[in-house]
Amino acid sequence: MAKGKREVIRLEGVKKYYFMGENIVKAVDGVDMVINHGDFVAIMGPSGSGKSTTMNLVGSLDLPTDGEIYLDGHNIARLSESSLAQIRGKKIGFIFQSFNLIPNLTAKENIMLPMLFQGLRIDERELKAEKLLELVELTDRKNHYPNQLSGGQQQRVAIARALANDPDVILADEPTGNLDTKTGEKVMNFLEEFNRKGKTIIMVTHDPELAKEHAKIVYWMKDGKIEKTTKTKKAR
Amino acid sequence: MIKDYAGLAVKNLKRRGLRSYLTLLGILIGITAVIALITLGNGLRTAVISQFGISSTEVISVQAGGVNAFGPPGSGVTNPLRLEDVEAIEKLNGVERAVRRNIPTGKLEFKDEVIFGVIMSIPDGEDRKFVYEELNINPVEGRLLKDRDIGKVVLGNNFLTEKAGLSNPVKVGNKVRISDKTFEVVGITEKKGSFIFDNVVHMNENDLEALAGYGDKVDLIAVKIKDKGEIEKVKEDIEKLLRERRNVEEGEEDFEVSTPEAELETVDQVLGGVQAFIVLIAFVAIVVGAIGIVNTMTTSVLERKKEIGVMKAIGAKNSDIFFQFFIESGLLGLVGGIAGIFFGIIIGFFGTIGINSFLGSSASPKIDLILIFLSLIGSFLIGSIAGITPALRAAKQHPVKALRS
Ligand SMILES: Nc1ncnc2c1ncn2[C@@H]1O[C@H](COP(=O)(O)OP(=O)(O)O)[C@@H](O)[C@H]1O
Ligand SMILES: [Mg+2]
């Protein structure tokens, strides 16, 4: 497979408008974007510039007001809710700023949950969850509940959960936003490691340093539009 | 899959606060009422039947006044039955024997204490044997009355204890004063579990007539029939005869001819009414409980909105979310049901023991496994049906909006 050549995501003239009575909030206002397999992309921009909205559209959590979104060559811009759920469950792994683990499930059970929604058998789920716990170095915490874990540990569980169904693409919305620099660094290292292993990663951040240091390509967003695209030193 | 949802639901139920479980009170009360009712049911029936001394033998009893079968016989009757009525009934085809009974009330004194009670006339000869057999009366101390006993009485079992209202127990050989005449107690009867027969004074007819002076008036006629299969026909014949003798139209009888079946039917009607009432209460409680569950589930859908968003983000379909809440709601109902069954059986059990010790009956509680099984299924169904709307609401959450909440 020619690394960095296969196209995974393509956005064409994507718009997302929110209609609030008289006002129209143009959260995303005509975005074009092509992301290839194995990319590590950062979406940079000030708060409210439309980064999360863009990410949610890519992650098939939402439908655009206008434009086309291709995931692995399939147009997902006008799919039904249940087809979208299938697609995002299989192809996308989400990581959130506030970790968003299910509070009454243990670390391991949280990791097993996405596989349940894909209909995997319990023994398959257990086996995979154990492997992922090992990858994020949390085997000794597998039976802990989220409130018994530190922020960094919770985010590593979230990463493992995002990887559960072997998705092509990992979407991380400010993954280090709630972590201190050192813990954040560790989380970033895991993301980089998985990127090296072939995962396509799209990360939203408002921290330019973080973007330059870890990503290969940076999209700079403002007012719902892409201002510019830059390549970092990581991109060969 | 269902098992997995159930597992998730159990985890969610475990973290629920007391408030959620309080809303189960309705289901709990409803199921408790039904289970207690059934567990108690037979005990209550046996207790009532033994209370009123409804005999199982094929005997028809005739009373004037048409008052309810359980009232004091002969009380407040304007046109009493007479001895000639007894004789006329005895001449009917199908009747083997008709026995007059008089059951006046009287004053009884013993060791400076006075109580008022019922005295029951005991006839002579073959009729005596019939009365003792029909009422199944046996002595526990001393003996029963015989022909030609004069100035002698037999007392009900409660006179052995304070239950008859006297603080001193009466023994065989003691003298009691009844309506200012002295009588010797020659026997005490076995416990019957009936407040009538356990408190009654038996007295031979001659003594009682001399005491109460009722002449040829009769309080009750006990009719023994020749053939059990003819009981309804004999009953109709007696009614026809008395209508003619008393000159009343059909439907306007001032007397009552009752068979044991009819008396049992009355008991069952009364109990049936009580049961219907309790079932109604249970139904209302369950409806209220179901509304409570709708409420609780709706609240937790709102509380767990973000969680729903997260689950959708990691691939949960609408149906996945729906079934999670649906099953959780069903299990919530089931918890109420299990608690209800538990309390219902406890109440039924101790209720029966209570009835038995209060009335001296010996009913046993009835554990109905089918009913318990149905209650379990029913409470799960009530819970899950109540959960349909909240679960749909959960399933329809927009993933992005839910995540932003
Ligand atoms: N569901 C929504 N309803 C209304 N406005 C929204 C909604 N989601 C986002 N917005 C608005 O769209 C703009 C972009 O939001 P977002 O994508 O979250 O920005 P960022 O992630 O870059 O901070 C903001 O002005 C936000 O208030
Ligand atoms: Mg954002």
Q: What is the pLDDT of residues B50-75, one digit of tens each?
A: 766 666 567 888 888 744 444 455 55
- Nearest chain B residue (CA) to A125: B4
B123: left (phi over 0), alpha (psi -120 to 50) or beta: beta
Which residue do the tokens 């189960």 mark?
Answer: B24
Is any ligand 1 atom within 6 A of the Cβ of residue A16?
Answer: no
The ipTM assigned to this model is 0.94
Q: Check A119 against B1: CB less than 8 A apart.
A: yes
**Which domains does chain A possess?**
39-52+80-235 (3.40.50.300)
Q: In angstroms, rounded to a whole number, what is the distance separating the alpha carbons of residues B159 and B172? A: 11
pLDDT of residue B53: 67
Instruction: Please choose, from the candidates A200, A199, A233, A227, the residue with its C-alpha nearest in 3D space to the C-alpha of residue A214.
Output: A233
Q: Which ligand is nearest to the CA of A19?
A: 1
Q: Within a 10 A sphere around the Cβ of B82, how many other Cβ atoms?
A: 17
First to last CA, chain A: 17
Which residues, in sequence order, are bridge partners of residue A171? A94, A202
Work out the minimum CA distance from A25 to partner chain B, whole angstroms. Answer: 15
Q: Check A116 against B4: CB less than 8 A apart.
A: yes
Work out the minimum CA distance from B379 to partner chain A, whole angstroms. Answer: 25
Instruction: Please choose, from the candidates A236, A229, A233, the residue with its C-alpha nearest in 3D space to the C-alpha of residue A34.
Output: A229
Q: Whose CA is nearest to atom 13 of ligand 1?
A: A27
Q: In angstroms, rounded to a whole number, what is the distance separating the alpha carbons of residues B355 and B268? A: 17
Residue A171 has what DSSP assignment?
A: E
Work out the minimum CA distance from B388 to partner chain A, whole angstroms. Answer: 19
* Nearest CB to B400 within list A56, A114, A165: A56
Instruction: Please choose, from the candidates B62, B55, B57, the residue with its C-alpha nearest in 3D space to the C-alpha of residue B236.
Output: B62
Counting from 1 in the atom list of ligand 1, the atom nearest the Cα of A204 is 21
- Nearest chain B residue (CA) to A53: B400
* Contacts of A197 by beta carbon, 8 Å cutoff, 6+ apart: none
- pLDDT by residue, tens only, chain A of 236 residues: 444 479 999 999 999 999 998 999 999 999 999 999 999 999 999 999 999 999 999 999 999 999 999 999 999 998 988 889 999 999 999 999 999 999 999 999 999 999 999 999 999 999 999 999 999 999 999 999 999 999 999 999 999 999 999 999 999 999 999 999 999 999 999 999 999 999 999 999 989 999 999 999 999 999 999 999 999 988 76
Which residues, in sequence order, are bridge partners of residue A15? A29, A66
Counting from 1 in the atom list of ligand 1, the atom nearest the Cα of A28 is 14
Q: In angstroms, rounded to a whole number, what is the distance separating the alpha carbons of residues B35 and B261? A: 28
Q: Check A82 against B318: CB less than 8 A apart.
A: yes
Using a CB-CB cut-off of 8 Å, the residues of chain A touching B317 are 82, 85-86, 117
Which residue do the tokens 């390549």 mark?
Answer: A231
Is any ligand 1 atom within 6 A of the Cβ of residue A25?
Answer: yes
pLDDT of residue B73: 54
SS3 B125: helix
- Positions of chain B with pLDDT lower than 70, given as ranges: 51-57, 66-77, 360
pTM above 0.80, yes or no: no
Q: Within a 10 A sphere around the Cβ of B147, how many other Cβ atoms?
A: 10
pLDDT of residue B308: 96
SS3 A219: strand
Give the domain ranges of chain B: 2-52+264-404, 59-259
**CA–CA distance from A141 to each of A163, B8, B38 (Å)?**
18, 20, 51
Q: Check B312 against A61: CB less than 8 A apart.
A: yes
Q: In angstroms, rounded to a whole number, what is the distance separating the alpha carbons of residues B33 and B286? A: 10
Pairs across A and B, CB distance < 8 A:
70
